[in-house]
Amino acid sequence: MSDAVVSTSREGSIATILMNRPQALNALSPGVLARLSDAVQEVAQDDDVQGIIVTGAGRAFVAGADIEHLRSLDRAGGQVFAEAGQRAFDGIESLPKPVVAAVNGFALGGGCELAMACHVRVASTTARFGQPEVKLGLIPGFGGTQRLPRLIGRGLATDLTISARMIDATEALRIGLVSEVVKPDQLLARAREVLEVILANGPAAVAGSLQVIRDGMDTDQASGLALEAGHFARLCGTDEMLEGTSAFLEKREAKFR
């Protein structure tokens, strides 16, 4: 699939989804969103895949939506396009397998929204982030108005959204938009290392943590605590929990299935 606008590859238990339209800075069109959704479903259904990296080809992660397509949209078309992008990114965020965004360059508009849909973000020093939609007479449509405030707080998210200001990787790290920043030639290796640390833990526990964090953000704290207690209880007594606790007591590495 190396010639596709979105390509997938696998090394061991880690799959890489590559946004592969470098001549257009990996811009998102309806066709690209459809291929992205297909790629996500492909790795989600592959039992040999335990973790996923999302990155971009060339000098962009994803530089935003395809502007020519945006120009063609009327109100009905805009609704369809926004919902397609939201479905694609919700599909990533709701995966029970951990997803790390390796942000290699421009992550603007839909690109920033794609990175935020991933569970962890590692950035290259060349990465740039922003929600510049207001410069086009639009607002973010693929989740930016919802995920950005949840990640960095309402005040900063409002500033970035209505100013259309672009920030570098250092500022993204400072405000909590990314977890760490590395040199460009270290990015993919570091993203893989991050995943390998996660994958050394209990897979059902990781999946449960992802689900409770996601679902709990959309409710009040009391309801979130109830979700947490329920998932905690479901893991008690499982083979995974027994292996993890036994390994700790026996001072050895756990061997999860």
Catalytic residues, by residue number, are: 113, 133
Which of 5, 121, 30, 103 minimizes the C-alpha distance to 60? Answer: 103
Q: If DSSP codes are grouped into helix, strand and coil, which group holds residue 116? A: helix
Residue linked to tokens 């059902």: 204
Task: Tell how strand 14-19 and strand 6-11 pair up.
Answer: antiparallel
Q: Which residues contact 227 (CB under 8 A, 6 or more apart)?
A: 212, 215, 216, 219
Residue linked to tokens 């811009």: 27
Under 8 Å between Cβ of 50 and 7: no
Crossing angle of helices 75-93 and 30-44, in 10° steps, is 20
Token pair of 255, please? 């061997």
